[in-house]
Structure 1
Amino acid sequence: MPIERTLSDLRSRLGGYEKIEEATSRTSIADLEDARLIFINQPQLTKFCTNHVSTAKYNVLTFLPRFLYAQFRRAANSFFLFIALLQQIPDVSPTGRWTTLVPLILILIVVLSLDLFSYPSLSLLLDHFCEHHSRCILDCFDGHFLFTSEPHAMCYIETSNLDGETNLKIRQGLQVTAHDKDADSLSRLSGCMECESPNRHLYDFVGVIRLEGHSPIPLGPEQILLRGARLRNTQWVNGMVVYTGHDTKLMQNSTRPPLKLSSVEHITNTLILALFGCLLAISLVCSAGQTLWKTQYGDFAWYMDLNYGGAANFGLNFLTFIILFNNLIPISLLVTLEVIKFIQAYFINWDVDMHYEPTDTSAMARTSNLNEELGQVKYIFSDKTGTLTCNVMQFKKCTVAGVAYGPEEEGFGDPTLPENLHNDHPTATIIQDFLTMMAVCHTAVPEKTEDTIVYQASSPDEGALVRAASSLGFVFSGRTPDSVIIHAVSGTNLLCDNSIPRGTTCTKKSMYCKLLCIKGTRAALSHHCGMLGEALHRENDVALVMDGETLKYALSFEVRQYFLDLALSCKAVICCRVSPLQKSEVVDLVKRQVKVITLAVGDGANDVGMIQTAHVGVGISGNEGLQAANSSDYSIAQFKYLRNLLLVHGAWNYNRVSKCILYCFYKNIVLYIIEIWFAIVNGFSGQILFERWCIGLYNVIFTAMPPLALGIFERCCKKENMLKYPELYKTSQNALGFNTKVFWAHCLNGLLHSVILFWLPLLIFQHDTVSWNGKTPDYLLLGNMVYTFVVITVCLKAGLETSSWTLFSHIAIWGSVFLWVLFFWLYSTLWPVIAIAPDMSGQAEMLFTSGVFWMSLLFIPVTSLLFDVAFREQLLFTQPFHSIIEFTSLSLRVKRSFWKNLVDEVQELEAKAQDPGEENGVVSQSDVIRSYDTTKQRPAQPQW
């Protein structure tokens, strides 16, 4: 019979399984030509997908392209690759052919090493192989089961990895095959199965099985076991494979992990492009200036032979100036950020406040690229089961015949209940009935292991009740088909269903972020999460609750904008019974349309999609395995640790990275803009003011430590204050520390400093100041003097940017100045002992013995920083943390004053006590020893 006719008959029989959908969201149920035909115990006519699944970031083929693509997405790397290519053109580069390419290769090697060896989730090969074919009876597939170890081909499954639900579900096979319990019966089966093609809908399945000697039997979702589900209370299951590998519904709902860049990096890339545009403009102006200078003075400067080697060529001059000024964009920025973020990741891993003692689990940063992104989160998407809740229920209290039992401490340890039961209390009979019902009225299944019994319940509530009854002497040890099954739960927080008390879970919500709960369990459980309170303080006191079927239509192209507008106008949005792909679609909708930083947190495999879709993904190492934790950017052991991760590490890292980036651009602008001022006085010849090795080591040695100190140890406030005043998070959340306005302000500040640091020394030397040995200064002595002032100024600027001084801060700032002085002194004494830099010979002696230099040293750097000191951020642009720092400092001074006065009073009283002449004086120690007589008998103790 043709497949089309078979499925048509099937729809007429199974109208309940048919889905009416729009053409844009139609699944393979309606794609008749894609229906799957599987033969039982026969060779397959169609080659199906194997069960090979790879979860690696890289493999052998894609390793190099994906790595290079990830790195050259950064504008800085692309820029320096362009400069390295320009340097290969003959007679163009004034700084050599390899001065950019070699550092760039070293940077890529360092980043690659961190990717491959530092983070377990980024290893090169993490392939997982499970070989299954369409007639094998194994796991790791979607399959139709034929018979099980349980009666009537029943089995219990848990689908927490698929939809987040932890309650046990019952699946039942076909009655035709329910009594076949051996391999021979299985091998004798013959026929075929026709079903829908692979799709992502977890709760839909349409198919028909044709066994020889039997009429066609329809199949629905109750006869299918999905990959990712766990067997419970069922020893074994035999069946036939329907979908394998990437055809399974779990893999259909999975998404490829994206290459994530933080918003700070995106802004930095944009600003680097803008700075590159400025570089092109500057090079164009300098090339034009060189042409004009040659036109005006070329005839008088015949000895310079300006036409030699194409020096007059405007295009080559333009490329020369691009290479000369390329260091306006710091090449060390990328390495510095990699080191800083790497250490920041270890700070997260080492935080003892995020260490969970019961399981000995610490927080783990699985990537360091998003450390600063943690400080800008505005929307949190959270799974509920196992994430907002611990998915653990404990029997706390109960009331029997109007009498309340249960202390306030952890667990149930009230001895009054068993005493009233055994001491002929008036309520003893009612207590006995109550405990009996707790022990028998449930759907739990006991699992006996030696002398212990483990209860597998359809919900944590039932398990808590059965365990409580067992601890009170009413032990449930088994069940028969005649057992009466009702649902009865108890707990501290109550829901009502036909006036029967029920227990539920509760969490405290205290965040300065909007929370959207995406979960797989009942929406009623969120009433006690603070999201569906009686008073929703917002312009619209409304909460939106939506299930997966409704969400399918809400996410369609025609109405998704209306759904988003409605969701944003509500205080809380709860989506229940949704598939993993729907979770990621909701996150992606908010991420793309609202343009805010999103964070997704979950603990199960069904949360992997939204964790990877959000800007930042946080996995919780819970009871549902490590799938979410292994696929996340950051993993924690408890949801409560998210507070420390965001408010402390997120805000700190954002502040550190922002200051580091701004400072790196500032210090490079200060030094290399001076080359532009020098070009004005040298006829735009391309001559450099500073010695070549001094230019090369500026970012590598002399100014390398201050940005590291800012990026690693900088703290705007202490951890206690960050947690005590969550308002401090708004500074990083609203990107007040790093944006286009702040960036260009730092660039203008560096421009101003470069003007002062170049033109003032030039004015001082314009009259040819003579040194002690009779020599007059040349351009190189001027360059060394300016270079010294630049190093001192930018190091002091780092001190002004520092809010929290540490030992490393002092070493970074003062040590950098000392390194330059030491290098300068040694470098100027090498020649002629070592044939290096003969033009630097004696420069240090001439500079350090010049009175003009020492006078300028006290005047010029201070003049440069006067503007920064006079117009500090605390005075003009006060942030919340400035007030907190001031308040904390004031409180500390008050406390110190109090303790100082108290210590003075105590010392005064001690002095009086040691003086026998004082009225309240005591006998000195020497007098006590002299009057002590061990030969005298002690008086007896008086009788009272």
Structure 2
Amino acid sequence: MTQNGGASSATVAGIEPRVAFLNDNDANQQLIVTKQYARNVMVTSKYTILSFVPKTIFEFFRVVANIYFLLIALLQLATPWSPTNKFTTAGPLLFVLMVTMVKQGTEDFKRHQADEKQNLRLCRIINAQGQTEMVAWQDLQVGQLVCVENHEELPADVVILATSEEEGRCFIETSNLDGETNLKRRIAVKSTAQAIGWRELQGDFLPQETVCASAVRKLRGSVEHEQPNNQLYTFTGRILLREGDRGETATPLGPENLLLRGCSLRSCAYVVGLVIFTGGETKLLQNSRAAPSKQSKLYRTANSCMLLIFTTMFALCLASAIAASSWNSRNVNRVWYLPFITEPDGASFIVNFFTFLILYNNLVPISLYVSLDIIKVLQANRITADRNMVYEGTRAVARTSELNEELGQVEYVFSDKTGTLTCNVMEFRKCSIGGISYGFGTTEIGRAVAALAGGNADPNGSSTSSSPSPAKAKVNPMFENAGSGGSSVRLDIISTDDVRERVSPALLPEIGRPKEAQVHFDPNIHFDDPGLLRALYAGGKQGERIHEFLMLLSICHTVIPEIDPKTGSVAYRASSPDEEALVKAAKCLGYNFVAPAPLMKVEISCKPSLLPPVTATATHGTASLEPTTKSYTILNVNEFNSTRKRMSVVAVNEETREYILYCKGADNMMLERATTSKNESETEARLKLESHLKNYAREGLRTLVLGRRVLSEVEYKQYNDTYVEASTSLEDRETKLDACAEMIEKNMNLLGVTAIEDKLQEGVPTAIFDLAQAGIKVWVLTGDREETAINIGHACRLINDKMQLLYVNAERIDALSAQLDAMYETPELQRLMRGGQVADNLAMVCDGKALVHVFPSRDTRIKMSAEATANVDMLAEKLLGIAKVCKALIACRVSPSQKAEIVQLVRKGGVSADEKKRKGAQPITLAIGDGANDVSMIQTAHVGVGICGKEGVQAVNASDYAVAQFRFLTRLVLLHGRCNYKRICKVIRYSFYKNIALVISLFMFNFFNGQSGAPLFESFVMAGWNFFLALPIIVIGVYDQDIPEDIVLRFPQLYRCGQHDSDLNMRVFTRTILNSVVHALICFFGCYAGTQITTLGLYVLGTLFYTSLLGAMKLKVVQLALVINKYHAVVMAFSIGLFVFFLLVYPHLTFMSYDMYGVPAQMVLHQRYWTLLLLCPVAAMLIDYTAVAAQQQFRPSAEDILRERFRAGRSKRGSDTVAPMDLPAESSTKSADKITIADQSINENNTNDSKEGKPGQSAPTSTLYVSL
């Protein structure tokens, strides 16, 4: 373990090491200066006092539209070409910039406050005199010694030099890092702990003051370690201690010796450590990276619309410049008195072009992006405030507001299983030991599978199992005289199914009682088979198997018991819910784990009522009425990882001094490492175990296979030497440790199988049904075995018994290619793929072993030839093509990286360039998960949703939205997503609509003023256009509701409009442009024909037309608002009042302009003013209202029908009810353009039983076919 002399010059993991010195402040200070080690401050703010103005201005002008307005403002200010006031563009632009700066400044000020609060927290350092003193976190430096007490948070990354506990151990909680609340074990560096304060097992407590003083007095040397990185679970380094004349002694450091900033100390009085990373170099802050920037599809569509508007504007400027040149050429001699009218030439053409560019600059809505930002923030607040998405006090959280409308266009949902579809509350239900299955009852998933098979699932039935022959079974005396009424029935130790078949029905309730089946009854554990305890107490070979089975559950784990000092109760802290469930199950069955590693203690108790009359034959000591204690010393731990899929411990039985390997893991890993026996009974037991595995998987139970092996002393020594060498290695430590574990994890005796139930969350089947009805494909990506994944798919109604399952599970690349080719060339699939259709009777099941060939690692792909790469890409294309025509997909045994690869494949629409360019090939994807293994998938999808579950907050921190349960996804997507999509579409259309109308009026007026570029409106009146119209559309963007929310959720088919871009596409946008042009022309020519400019003056006519057009815009808002609420009324009244106030006040501000003085008075006194003000907007909007009425009458949309039915039901019944209506079916045969809505009455009392699939109930048969 040690290395003498010359070690200080070595490198760590092949790179230049980072160094910190022990008790050498001068050397540390020099390193801090020369190496520029980070200060221990947290900075989450974006700006400083000096950088705030330049950085916000830079970010503001990263938006192309803002650069455009800046150029227009510069043209107005710096040239004589502007036909309007020089400040009409600069003023609004400056106002928008100020609003943005105030918003950014307010948010950043809050971040500064949070940073200051964090940086001024106090911690305890050890000074040169060996005493502790309090300093602020921000003053902590690399190389200082710190002392952290129980329940305190670590201020920096610290190497553990000594602790108060036995053998230098301590425990930490890492919820601030990874969200896990279980305690994790850490140990001090043995060489330093022995130097300053080593406490042996059962040793005396060492006072904190003594250890701190010793640390300063005795420790000299340095720590060489890796450079700062974001790997939370790895650490490589070594500590070099100077020991007088003997030189330096090197001791390797690993992650078990490191405490990270943000974690909290638990179950330990104090820890003394050396600071090695501070501030932004700590692993916590290295992981504090923003999620990848995402931009919604609708935002990109708006940018495309903006590009079209820019093109249109330049076309208008060019047309006006050409018309001006033509007019000047024809009239230059006739209007000789106008000095600026000259023969047209190139210079005058350029001047005219820029004059019209300034005049028409409002064609681009300056308020669009600001309005969208405000609206999206308010929409996000509404999502967070939704009381219908609260579970156990946990609300939905919109972590970003940029993707609110993206939620309304989702086509694929990728879901994890454990903790997402299921509760992640593990419950020990059944087990198989020695070929016998124990445990009554079935699961929700088991009932679903039984129903699909046409059988009736007995709620008290057990899984199918086999038993040893009665002749070879050990007779249990407790089953003598078990019959009622004096009859004698002898039962062997057999499966619980056989017990149920052979025992009188009157006794069945007794057999299924959890209190009888458990030694320490726990109401949260529903294991209810007393046969296990009876077999245990009866002894014999089966009793020994059960004893070893329960001992393994009590020992082979990383669970930590934490005792409440007030109540004395023990709470288990586990790294996973599965481990906690197994340890609790062992406790309930009498094997109570009470002391953690390294000296683990298990108290074994018995159930007196189940004890046989004679207990002398119980060789394992479980039949004593008094609890007995078994002690095991844990020597080595081979930890679980996603590659090994198992964990094991090597323990020494303190009584027998045997070296025992206990191992548990996934079935595919454990079965291939089990010993093969020629004994007929052992072979039969293994076959039954494998059968039970399949049965448990059919019930959706999570299984682990348990194995045991006794090691010889020589074999253990050989293994331990390799283990020590691997654990102290500075390079490839994890790989070497895995190889070391392979040395002994072989030829194991199988003890049995555990079966844990992870129940489906409430509402999951209904949620998946609704998502499917909305046209959203749900793909489940899980690490579970195939049978479990398929049966959970049945239980949650993702697949059904009428579906044909397409399996992609070949393990070799040639076999996989043949498998995909056979599917791909099927005529039926080819027809579906060509038509872009989805078959309701097809589902795909993929295995992770097959996907390894479809998604090779980056290193593998680099080494592949061009031909091999092309073959792999072809496999991915074929897989995607087949999967797209399937209604559902289940991927089992997949790794986190494979989850992300699947999402990426669907998101990009394939891997070839042609596929990417094909229309509709890039659907909107949503990924939902709850654990760290879902982070890559969540960040890869367009929209990431995290479940606030039991596996930490990594998924939530990486997500865009967070919900408490999967069922809330329907409300988030189908309600909030759909409504926000429609609202944003209205805002974008209206923003362009109102500005186009204004500019078209200016364009038309130029045909009446000799193409001079003179504006029809006074400059500041024209500049106020966006202000007078901004608020009403913001209210629509936040509160508009076309259909009541309960009806929206009842009819998921309504969601499909967003998937087809129905509310905003180039066709709809072109219609918006034409609509705006028509309204502008009606108002312009109506006002022009109804007045005489020669008598009224230019700005009187202009203000009259402006007011008329403003009225039309207000009426358009009213038409867009399908539901008028108090917010609409207040804002509409305010915006009208604002305009009236402006007309009353502005004309008197003559220092700004004299042009408007007296204009409003003349206008309102004109005899035709009020008539034109009423007729022009009404005439313009009459076209719209007529068109809408005709469309609703002759070609109604789904929304139109439901609104009409809702209003009819409300008027008749006085409540929110949808009345049934008879509508003729559409004549069109394009099924792809239609959705189906069940004709059913909707009200609060009508439950959605058809979705739950209750027997004897079905949806009404009449159907409405509604064209999209």
TM-score grouping bracket, smaller chain normalisation: 0.7 to 0.9
Q: Greater shift after overlay, 433-442 or 369-378?
A: 433-442
Distance 2:856 2:282 in 1: 20
Distance 2:409 2:1216 in 1: 40
Structure 2 partner of 1:113: 102
Work out which of the residue numbers 260, 275, 295 in structure 1 matches 2:309. Answer: 275
Q: 1:682 aligns with which of 1009, 1028, 1043?
A: 1009
Match of 2:857 in 1: 553
1:483 to 614, 621, 631: 631
Superposition pairs of residues 639-788 of structure 1, within 5 angstroms = 639-692=966-1019, 694-701=1021-1028, 703-762=1029-1088, 780=1099, 782-788=1101-1107
**Aligned with 2:90 (options 101, 110, 120):** 101
> Alpha-carbon deviations, 1:1-60, whole Å to 9, x = none?
9999979999xxxxxxxxxxxxxxxxx94xx35344555444357545334443334444
Q: Compute the displacement of 1:451 (Å).
A: 1.9
| CA–CA separation in structure 2 for the residues paired with 1:630 and 1:232 | 24
Deviates more, 1:703-712 or 1:739-748: 703-712
Cα deviation, residue 659, structure 1: 0.2
C-alpha displacement at 1:338, in angstroms? 3.8
Query: How many equivalent pairs are there?
Result: 862
Q: Note closer, same or farther for the CA distance 1:420–1:545 as it changes in structure 2 (3 Å cut).
A: closer
Q: Spell out, residue by residue over 1:91-147, the C-alpha distance to the aligned partner (whole angstroms, 9 max, x if none).
A: 322221222222222223323333444699866863654434145356355555455
SS at match of 1:94: coil
Distance in structure 2 (CA, Å) of the matches to 1:340 and 1:266: 17
Matched, 1:869 2:1017: no
1: distance between equivalents of 2:31 and 2:879? 45
Aligned: 1:345 with 2:380: yes
Residue in 2 that maps onto 1:373: 406
CA distance, structure 2, for counterparts of residue 7 and residue 65 of structure 1: 47
Of 199-208 and 275-284, deviating more is: 199-208
Q: Tell me, what secondary structure is at the counterpart of 1:303?
A: coil
Aligned amino acid, residue 723 of structure 1: L
1:502 is aligned to 2:828 = no
Counterpart CA distance in 2 for 1:66 and 1:4 is: 52
Once the two structures are superposed, what CA deviation does each residue of 1:706-730 show, in whole Å capped at 9, x if it has no partner? Answer: 4234212212322223323333333
What per-residue deviation string (whole Å, max 9, x for no partner) do you get for residues 766-825 of structure 1? xx69xxxxx966655654554454234333333333333435446666886788689779
1:383-421 alpha-carbon deviations (Å, 9 max, x no partner): 777666554446789999977489999xxx999444688
In structure 2, C-alpha distance between the alignment counterparts of 1:281 and 1:3, rounded to whole Å: 81
Shift of 1:685: 1.3
Match of 1:326 among 331, 349, 361: 361
* 8 A contact 1:381–1:517 mirrored in 2: yes
Which of 1165, 1183, 1190 is matched with 1:845 structurally? Answer: 1165
- Equivalent position SS for 1:452: coil
Of 314, 331, 336, the residue aligned with 2:349 is 314
Normalized against structure 1, the TM-score is what?
0.74
1:299 pairs with 2:412: no
Note the aligned Cα RMSD (angstroms).
Answer: 5.5
AA of the residue aligned to 1:541? V
**Against the structure 1 CA distance between its residues 377 and 557, is the aligned structure 2 distance closer, same or farther, given a 3 Å change threshold?**
farther
Please state how far the C-alpha of 1:655 moved relative to its aligned partner. 0.9
Per-residue deviation, residues 842-871 of structure 1 (Å, max 9, x unmatched): 3222244787x4895598335643674366
Deviation digits for residues 612-638 of structure 1 (CA, Å, limit 9, x no counterpart): 776545555556776776776544444
- The aligned counterpart of 1:77 is 66
Query: Does the CA contact (< 8 Å) of 1:208 and 1:219 recur in 2?
Result: yes
Determine if the alignment matches structure 1 residue 793 to structure 2 residue 793.
Answer: no
CA distance change for structure 1 residues 867 and 76 in 2, over 3 Å: closer, same or farther?
farther
- Write out aligned runs for 1:217-256 (5 A): 217-221=251-255, 223-225=257-259, 233-256=267-290
Partner AA of 2:1163 in structure 1: Q
Q: Provide closer, same or farther for how the CA distance between residues 321 and 494 of structure 1 changes in structure 2, counting only shifts above 3 A.
A: same
**How far did 1:677 drift?**
0.9
Alignment identity in percent?
33
After superposition, the Cα gap between the structure-2 partners of 1:242 and 1:750, relative to the gap in structure 1 and judged at 3 Å, is same
User: Residues 811-890 of structure 1 correspond to what in structure 2 (within 5 A)?
Assistant: 837-848=1157-1168, 853=1172, 857=1176, 860-861=1179-1180, 864-865=1183-1184, 868-869=1187-1188, 872=1191, 880-886=1198-1204, 888=1206
1:296-340 deviations in Å (ceiling 9; x for gaps): 1122212333259x9984333322222211112223334433443
Q: Could you tell me how far apart the structure 1 residues matched to 2:955 and 2:252 are?
A: 36
How many Å separate the matches in 2 of 1:71 and 1:418?
A: 68
- CA displacement, residues 485-511 of structure 1 (integer Å, 9 cap, x when unaligned): 979999995233344232142443724
**SS of match in other structure, 1:501:** strand
Q: Distance in 2 between matches of 1:866 and 1:557?
A: 60
Work out the CA distance in 1 between the residues paired with 2:324 and 2:310: 21
Residue in structure 1 matching 2:569, options 436, 453, 475: 453
The reply to whether residue 463 of structure 1 matches residue 463 of structure 2 is: no
- Comparing 33-42 with 98-107, greater Cα deviation is found at 33-42
Could you say what secondary structure the match of 1:716 adopts? coil
Is the CA contact (8 Å cut-off) linking 1:263 and 1:373 kept in structure 2? yes
CA 665–736 in structure 1, closer or farther in 2 if over 3 Å, else same = same
Letter aligned with residue 675 of structure 1: L
**Structure 2: gaps of 5 or more residues:** 120-136, 148-153, 199-210, 445-458, 460-509, 522-528, 538-542, 601-629, 633-650, 652-661, 666-695, 706-751, 807-840, 884-888, 911-921, 1220-1268
Greater mean deviation of Cα atoms: 798-807 or 287-296: 798-807
Tell me if the contact between 2:518 and 2:589 (Cα under 8 Å) persists in the aligned partners: no
Q: 1:83 touches 1:100 (CA, 8 Å); kept in 2?
A: yes
Farther-moved stretch of structure 1 (522-531 vs 884-893) = 522-531
The 1:379–1:70 alpha-carbon spacing in structure 2 relative to 1, beyond 3 Å, is farther
Shift of 1:520: 10
Residue 676 of structure 1 deviates from its aligned partner by 0.7
Q: 1:244 to 1:390 in 2, by over 3 A?
A: farther
Structure 1 residues 429 and 221: alpha-carbon distance in aligned structure 2, compared to 1, 3 A threshold: closer
Give the partner amino acid of 2:631: S
Change in 2 beyond 3 A, CA 1:644/1:149? farther
> Which amino acid is the alignment partner of residue 1056 of structure 2?
K
Mapped contact 2:848–2:892 kept (Cα < 8 A): yes
The CA deviation at 1:761 is 4.8
The change in CA–CA distance for 1:693 and 1:169 in structure 2 (over 3 A counts) is closer
Task: Identify if the C-alpha distance between structure 1 residues 164 and 346 changes in structure 2 by more than 3 Å, giving closer, same or farther.
Answer: closer
The separation in 2 between residues aligned to 1:121 and 1:592, in whole angstroms, is 38
Distance 1:331 1:868, change over 3 A: farther
What is the CA distance between 1:84 and its match in structure 2?
Answer: 1.7
Q: Which residue identity does 1:97 align to in structure 2?
A: K
Alignment correspondent of 1:136: 145
- 2:163·2:193 contact (CA, 8 Å) conserved in 1? yes
SS at match of 1:503: strand
Distance 1:798 1:59, change over 3 A: same
Query: Cα deviations across residues 351-373 of structure 1 (Å, max 9, x unaligned)?
Result: 111234x34x4334454343323
2:846 to 508, 528, 542: 542
2:755 and 2:428 map into 1 onto residues whose CA distance is: 12
Once the two structures are overlaid, the 10-residue window that deviates more, 211-220 or 752-761, is 211-220
Q: Secondary structure at the match of 1:302?
A: coil
Q: What CA distance in whole angstroms lies between the structure 1 residues aligned with 2:443 and 2:410?
A: 40
Q: Secondary structure in 2 aligned to 1:447?
A: strand
Unaligned runs of 5+ in 1: 11-27, 770-774, 902-944
C-alpha distance 177-854 of structure 1, shift in aligned 2 (>3 A): closer
Residue 363 in structure 1 maps to residue 683 in structure 2: no
- Partners in 1 of 2:1005 and 2:108 — Cα distance? 47
CA distance in 2, matches of 1:80, 1:898: 48
Q: 1: CA distance between counterparts of 2:925 and 2:359? A: 41
User: For residue 848 of structure 2, what is the amino acid of its counterpart?
Assistant: L
Q: Partner of 2:1179: helix, strand, or coil?
A: helix
Distance 1:472 1:837, change over 3 A: farther
Secondary structure of the structure 1 residue equivalent to 2:758: coil
